[in-house]
Structure 1
Amino acid sequence: MSVLIKPLVTEKVSALNEKGKYGFVVDRKANKVDIKKAVEKLYGVTVEEVNTMNYLGKKKSRYTKSKVISGRTPSFKKAIVTVADGEVIDFYSEI
C-alpha cells in the first residue's frame, strides 16, 4: 500500500510551502503516523506535524443523447505536513 499518492501543487498550498507546510493527497486509510513515516522516508526531512482532511467527491451530471448520467468524482484524503525549520521538500527535483 502506497501512503502518498501525489503532492498537491496548487496556489493555496504553494503559499504554505514558504512557511514549511506541504500538501499531499494520501491513501484514505492512512493515519497521521503512517503519513509522517512515509514523508520522512521519501524526502529525508523531519516532520513536526500532520493535519488531515477527508473530502467527499463532488456530484457531477452529464447530458447525453439518451439520458442524464449522474455520479460522483472520487473521494480523497488530503494531508498538510509541517516540516522542521530550515528544511525544504523539492517536488520538481525529479523532473
Structure 2
Amino acid sequence: MDYTQILLRPVISEKATFVKEEDGQVIFYVHDKANKIEIRKAVEDAFKVKVTGVNVVRRKPMPRTKFGKVTGKVPGFKKAYVTLAEGDKIELFEGV
C-alpha cells in the first residue's frame, strides 16, 4: 500500500494536542489493514521525520440506539499514536 492509502487523516482534538505537547506523539486515523511497520514507513516517507515508536488503537463498530431501539451502526476505526524522534516535528500540526 502507498502511504496515501495508509494515513487517512490526522486527529486534531484537545487530547491529540495534549499528547503532542507532553509526549511528542502525533495521532492519525489509519487504514484498517495497516500494521505498525507500514504505518512507520508511511509517516517517515510522507513527512521526512524519524519515527521511534508506533502504538495502535482499534475501536470496534457499535450499534446506534435511539429510545431503546437499534437504528444503525457507528463505524469503527483504527488510530495510530506515532512517537517522533527528539527534535523532529510535523509542520502540519504546528499552530493548531
TM, length-normalised to structure 1: 0.83
Aligned counterpart for 1:17 among listed residues 20, 36, 43 = 20
Greater fraction helix: 2
Superposition deviation, residue 58 in structure 1: 3.4
Root-mean-square deviation over aligned CA pairs: 1.8
Does 2:80 correspond to 1:79?
A: yes
Q: Show structure 2 runs of 5+ residues with no match.
A: none
Residues of 2 paired with 1:52 and 1:33: CA distance? Answer: 11
TM-score (norm: length of structure 2): 0.82
Percentage of pairs with the same residue: 37
Between structure 1 and structure 2, the one with the greater Rg is 1
In structure 2, the CA distance between the partners of 1:17 and 1:92, relative to structure 1 (3 Å rule), is closer
Aligned length: 89
Q: CA 1:9–1:44 in 2, change beyond 3 Å: closer, same or farther?
A: same
Runs of 4+ in structure 1 displaced over 4 angstroms? none
Q: Name the counterpart of 2:54.
A: 50
Matched ranges for 1:33-44 at <5 A: 33-44=37-48
